[in-house]
Amino acid sequence: MSKIRYFLFSLPVLAALTLIFLSSGTSSSADISMEADGYLQGDEAIKQDIRLPLLPDSISFAGEKTPLQYFDVREALHRELTSLCYLHGTMLYILRLDGRYGATIKRVLREEGIPEDFYYLCVTESMLQPLVSPANAAGYWQFLAATGREYGLVVNAEIDERYHIEKSTRAAAAYLKKAYEEFGTWTLAAASYNTGIKNVKDRIQIQSLNDYYEMQFVEETSRYVFRILAHKLIMTNPADYGFIIRADELFPELEYKEVTVSGSIDNWSVFAVEHNTNFKMLKMYNQWIRSNKLDNTQRKSYIVQVPAEGFRER
């Protein structure tokens, strides 16, 4: 009798286990099928459209053609282009900042006789933001303090013109002219901005080459010009790479009045109030102001941009 009860009790248990096993097997097969298809169904659906961006048929930097016929050049450009295309938030912010600073930087480059493509070098260096690197390079063109001073910028605790859009662009132009005179190509001039003129000269001598795309550099420099080219591609034709941004979504150029300061300023906040604004806005318009005061013992003249609209309505 006990054996019969055990057998009868076991039948539903075995049936249940069989159903569990079969349903588990069916689920696994479906999962495998869905995984093979590259998507999940129902509530677990994940929709993505991740593709490699298309490379252009041709591209140049500062009038110098990029040799896309070489597989290593194509792969290097594709790497940087793919990386930037999937930095969605970063690239959208850069595109918006382009509306604020692009025209000014390009204008200064033209005035200095530097090809406009070097604007994208500035973008590569700082993303059009007043950043400081781990090596203490600072500002829109990422000058070290000593290099900034070498090219005529004031760099001290109160004033740091590495953060001055126009002055730092003219300093970068002076460097690039010197590099171009040394190497005879704008592409190597750009590479030297990353690794230094001496380093490029040494590599030219060792490798007996004078072509960036043929030369071996440390990884950062070997990627540098391709990152510049990738910025150029996206920022010239953002919609081609999935960045849809309307003209009214770009940050507008800042409107300002100019005030010349040739003496000392005891407190920039007081100065701001006297010009119908506040210190926060004064700093936004003049990133080169690095202190709350200006001793200005050498009595240099500085042009301060004051917001045209003054205080915002409360």
For residue 194, the domain's CATH number is 1.10.530.10
Whether residues 237 and 264 share a domain: the answer is no
Q: Is 220 a member of any domain?
A: yes
Whether residues 197 and 286 share a domain: the answer is no
Mean pLDDT of 170-199: 98
Please give the pLDDT value at position 28. 44
Is pLDDT of 10 > 50? no
Domain boundary among 233, 249, 265: 249
Mean pLDDT of 200-209: 98
- Contacts of residue 285, Cβ cutoff 8 Å, sequence gap at least 6: 254, 256, 305, 306, 307
3-state secondary structure of 58: coil
Whether residues 187 and 265 share a domain: the answer is no
Both tokens of residue 161?
Answer: 């013109």
Domain boundary among 205, 234, 249: 249
* DSSP tag of 123: H
Query: Per-residue pLDDT tens for 237-249?
Result: 999 999 999 999 9
Listed in order, strand segments (DSSP E) in the chain are 60-61, 64-65, 256-261, 302-307
- Three-state secondary structure string covering 130-180: CCECCCCCECCCCECHHHHHHCCCCECCCEEHHHCHHHHHHHHHHHHHHHH
Please give the pLDDT value at position 15. 47
Is pLDDT of 33 > 50? no
Whether residues 174 and 292 share a domain: the answer is no
**Contact, 132 vs 152, CB < 8 A?**
no
- What rounded mean pLDDT belongs to the chain? 89
Mean pLDDT of 85-100: 97
Whether residues 146 and 276 share a domain: the answer is no
Domain count, the chain: 2
Whether residues 223 and 261 share a domain: the answer is no
Q: Is 127 a member of any domain?
A: yes
- Count of CB atoms situated within 10 Å of the CB of 120: 23
* Domain carrying residue 274: 256-307
Q: Is 23 a member of any domain?
A: no
Query: Per-residue pLDDT tens for 122-140?
Result: 999 999 999 999 999 999 9
Please give the pLDDT value at position 48. 77
Whether residues 159 and 68 share a domain: the answer is yes
Rounded to two decimals, the pTM is 0.84
Q: Is 7 a member of any domain?
A: no
Whole-number Å distance between alpha carbons of 23 and 17: 10
Mean pLDDT of 18-37: 44
Please give the pLDDT value at position 42. 57
The length of the chain in residues reads: 314
Mean pLDDT of 26-34: 43
User: pLDDT band at 26, cuts 50/70/90?
Assistant: very low
Residue with the two structure tokens 């002055």: 167
Whether residues 268 and 127 share a domain: the answer is no
